[in-house]
Chain A
Amino acid sequence: MDKILSVDSLNVSFNTRGTIITAVNNLSFGLQKNEVLGIVGESGSGKSQTVLSLMGLLESNGAATGSAVFKNKEILGLPDKELNKIRGNEIAMIFQDPMSSLNPYVTIGQQMSGVLRQHSKDNKKEARDRCVEMLSAVKVPSPDKRIDGYSFELSGGMRQRVMIATALLTSPDLLIADEPTTALDVTVQEKILDLILEVKEKFLMSVILITHDLGVVARTCDNVLVLKNGIKQEYGDTEQIFYSPQAEHTQELLFKSRELDEPLQKTEPNIEPQTSASIKKLSVFFPLPKNNFFSKTEHLKAVNNLSFDVKEGEILGVVGESGSGKSTLARSILKLQKPTGGSISVFGENILRMNNKQTKKFRKNIQVVFQDPFSSLNPRMTVSEILAEPLDSFFPKTTKIDAIQTITGCLDDVGLGAGFLGRYPHELSGGQCQRVAIARALISKPKLLVCDEAVSALDASIRAEIIELLLKLKQHKKLTMIFIAHDLAVVKKICDRVLVMQKGILIEQGKTNTVFQNPANQYTKDLLDSVPVPDPRLEKEKYRKRLSNRN
């Protein structure tokens, strides 16, 4: 096998207002033809900067030194004109967010052939044919029709397929995939990863896969490079690294990801729990745009005839893919969305029949933490203003001094000091923002806390911290929690009971351990199966099984 890429003592540093920050430190690795290399690390470990420096795509204040030889040619420090012949042609790249990497204003065909005509002299017809060919190679259904469609007509998974097809157009020798499945559902992730492996074999490419998910690595990679703070921790064969990790950081990462997979011995809630919320035959429909004025209005059934109870003191997990109606359900319980039918009663009161005064009392008792820590805080308010708002409306008689005390106390509860009071959200990290959002939710001393994907947008290590915080607060404040997530591992770790939803319908509900170990429903089984586990042999076994099933 011949070497396609060899990187030798690569250094990447950034000059930020006179301060030099080293992102990648003395990194060396190689890549064989047809090999899949995984680069793993938490965010800030320099994994993206490594590949960006190879492509010559560093920000203007970045500098790379060392050597990177691609097909016997030094590519580091090559002028843009030379690099453009390689970028997109011999090295192609796909990114995390398929939503923003496609231009919504041009058709998929135009977008794809644009790349093609940069690098070859095909005429329009040939370019189109080649695009259709590639779309069918990545299994986009009816590619000759899709090619004239727009990106917003496609689901996230389909968009990522289009991105892969675009990358393949020029038959590159190296495909760099930067977190290609992080934004996708697990079931879709499984298909995309399989697809990457398949096209790799078909077109004899090498692949560099950047990810923070060890399960993904175990599923796809031949070799692994583990990074921390820009420094190589470990580099070698996947199986060797997974079964006998040498570096401390690798062991830590593996421990963290396996911890989530182990069945937990949960202590059953000891008292016979009372019902704190009861949802009966809840339906939420959204009218779809009509085809013409006279046609009957069709409805999107976001939540369809759902009934369940929330017991006091438990953590109820709600899982499902995107579009399964989890968030609509949460919004209905919070009285932010008017249901089409059914009833919701919280603490014995029907929330759909409340006057303003009752609503206020209800809102005091039920609070929410949202997914995106940045968009859930008003960027124009300081932390203390954000926390003062619910205090003002629920306890209008609080004096200023008391208010400051309560706010500081609440910040202290979530592990932030009084120094944060005057800060604006853009001066906080994602984890700190989420802590502020939790503080805001808890300041009115609620009994029920709804977490709508509260940890999904966070890094693995920060996620673990926030989960710990939530569990601690739940213990201290005797909270009941509804925990909505698409991340099954997290749900398994912290929830007492789970609901599984698909397309607005309740598929299954039960004790967490029961549902996860003996799922009664096929959909639940598939969902559980598609979560990649950090065990290369098991993953390869699963991959082979899927391949033989398909043939």
Chain B
Amino acid sequence: MNSREKNKSNSLLSDAWRVLKKNKAAATSAWAMVVMGLMVIFGPLVSPFALDQTDWYQISAQPGLASGHIFGTDDLGRDLFVRVMHGGRISLMVGLVATMVSVIIGVSYGAMSGFIGGKTDAIMMRAVDVLYAMPFLFFVILLMVFFGRSIFLIFVAIGAVNWLDIARIVRGQTLNLKGKEFVDAARTGGATTTRIVFKHIVPNLLGLVVVYVALTVPQVILVESFLSFLGLGVQEPMTSWGALVNQGARQMETSPWMLLFPGMFLATTLFCFNFIGDGLRDALDPKDRTRESG
């Protein structure tokens, strides 16, 4: 009780942030992601080499400070550091943008469907089922054939598939929240359906959604890597971590650094997001918080 009085009027989120900071793995991961974000943004600006510039004298060069290629070069003599940073831009952007798109669509769709219920719900959810049934790769190839390859299409393809999961989860949770008395209270308070969904239901889904985002970002990055690996992803000379790993894998025996560096960045990102997701799940669980405050 006393501790509660002391730091009064702190919101659930700031409470959660306090708990998150205490979770060493999650806090370290969060900082690591910030550092990585800064690196991929400013790295290419600092580097003397360009993305598609070939250094004729340093083809497949080992990493070394003397040559200026700190991550070495690839089999075409391009600086790997710059390529990894550029690849990071694409990978993280795909991860974040595609996740955001799918979260926005998925949450609105799921919350509406669950809240309105009845026939509307049935129709909306059957539509989701139909989209689920579409084979992902076929869908991607179809898009590529019609519109040609571009990064934008990857966002669309991944976003279009990922929101289905979120919509399902959000709908289930909404059904649960719908029965809560504060929703009835809002209705008797004259609130419209739209207002109830976006003011009362969605904020209460936040914990769930934040955790889902943290777990989806690495998943999306992996999907993009997978597409790039199959040659359906980004187009040369642009690159992504997935594409770099793909190239590196082919040169594994002669120049292992080509696999090592992009692989390391990719793996670190995945680890970090998983730790952050785990930490957020604990931090947003009210039970954990009460135990923590005694």
Whether A394 and B190, one on each chain, are in contact in the complex, defined by CB atoms closer than 8 angstroms, is: yes
Which residues of B1-58 are within 8 A (CB) of A?
Answer: 2-4, 8-9, 11-12
Q: Does B294 contact A (CB under 8 A)?
A: yes
Chain B residues lying within 8 Å of A378, measured Cβ to Cβ, are: 182, 186, 199-200, 203-204
Whether B186 and A380, one on each chain, are in contact in the complex, defined by CB atoms closer than 8 angstroms, is: no
Whether A390 and B182, one on each chain, are in contact in the complex, defined by CB atoms closer than 8 angstroms, is: no
Stretch binding the partner chain, chosen from A13-21, A184-192, A493-501: A13-21
Chain B residues lying within 8 Å of A422, measured Cβ to Cβ, are: 9
Determine how close the nearest CB of chain A comes to the CB of B288; give it in whole angstroms: 13
Closest Cβ neighbor of A383 among chain B residues: B9
Whether B184 and A368, one on each chain, are in contact in the complex, defined by CB atoms closer than 8 angstroms, is: yes
Given A370-B185, A380-B206, A427-B9, answer yes or no on A375-B190 (Cβ-Cβ < 8 Å).
no
Interface size range on A against B = 35 or more
Q: Does B187 contact A (CB under 8 A)?
A: yes
Closest Cβ neighbor of B202 among chain A residues: A380
- Count chain A CB atoms within 10 A of each CB in B188, B204, B291 and give the residue with the most: B188
Determine how close the nearest CB of chain B comes to the CB of A313; give it in whole angstroms: 21
Q: Does A393 contact B (CB under 8 A)?
A: yes
Chain B residues lying within 8 Å of A19, measured Cβ to Cβ, are: 2-3
Stretch binding the partner chain, chosen from A71-79, A162-170, A359-367, A459-467: A359-367
Whether A390 and B203, one on each chain, are in contact in the complex, defined by CB atoms closer than 8 angstroms, is: no
Chain A residues lying within 8 Å of B181, measured Cβ to Cβ, are: 370-372, 375-376
Whether B294 and A331, one on each chain, are in contact in the complex, defined by CB atoms closer than 8 angstroms, is: no
Which residues of B191-216 are within 8 A (CB) of A?
Answer: 191-192, 195, 199-200, 203-204, 206
Whether A379 and B204, one on each chain, are in contact in the complex, defined by CB atoms closer than 8 angstroms, is: yes
Given A16-B294, A61-B294, A427-B8, answer yes or no on A389-B186 (Cβ-Cβ < 8 Å).
yes
Q: Does A437 contact B (CB under 8 A)?
A: yes
Would you call the interface of chain B mostly helix, strand, loop, or mixed? helix
Which residues of A452-490 are within 8 A (CB) of B?
Answer: none
Chain B residues lying within 8 Å of A367, measured Cβ to Cβ, are: 188-189
Query: What 1/0 flags go to A417-440 for Cβ under 8 Å of B?
Result: 000001110110000000001001
Of B8, B184, B195, B204, the residue contacting A336 (CB under 8 A) is: B184
Q: Does A334 contact B (CB under 8 A)?
A: yes
Query: What 1/0 flags go to A85-116 for Cβ under 8 Å of B?
Result: 00000000000000000000000000000000
Q: Does A444 contact B (CB under 8 A)?
A: yes
CA distance A367 to B187 in the complex (A): 10
Whether B3 and A440, one on each chain, are in contact in the complex, defined by CB atoms closer than 8 angstroms, is: no
Of B182, B188, B199, the residue contacting A366 (CB under 8 A) is: B188
Chain B residues lying within 8 Å of A61, measured Cβ to Cβ, are: 294
Determine how close the nearest CB of chain B comes to the CB of A428; give it in whole angstroms: 10
CA distance A331 to B184 in the complex (A): 9
Given A17-B3, A19-B2, A61-B294, answer yes or no on A424-B12 (Cβ-Cβ < 8 Å).
yes
A interface residues (Cβ-Cβ under 8 A, vs B): 14-17, 19, 59, 61, 331, 334, 336, 360, 363-364, 366-368, 370-372, 375-382, 389-390, 393-394, 422-424, 426-427, 437, 440-441, 444
| 16 A/B residue pairs, CB under 8 Å, sorted by A | A14-B294, A19-B2, A334-B188, A364-B190, A368-B185, A370-B184, A375-B180, A375-B182, A376-B182, A380-B206, A389-B189, A393-B192, A394-B190, A424-B9, A427-B9, A440-B185
B interface residues (Cβ-Cβ under 8 A, vs A): 2-4, 8-9, 11-12, 180-182, 184-192, 195, 199-200, 203-204, 206, 286, 291, 293-294
12 additional A-B pairs beyond A375-B181, A379-B12, A381-B203, beta carbons within 8 Å, are A14-B294, A360-B190, A363-B188, A375-B180, A375-B182, A376-B185, A378-B199, A380-B11, A380-B203, A381-B199, A389-B191, A437-B185
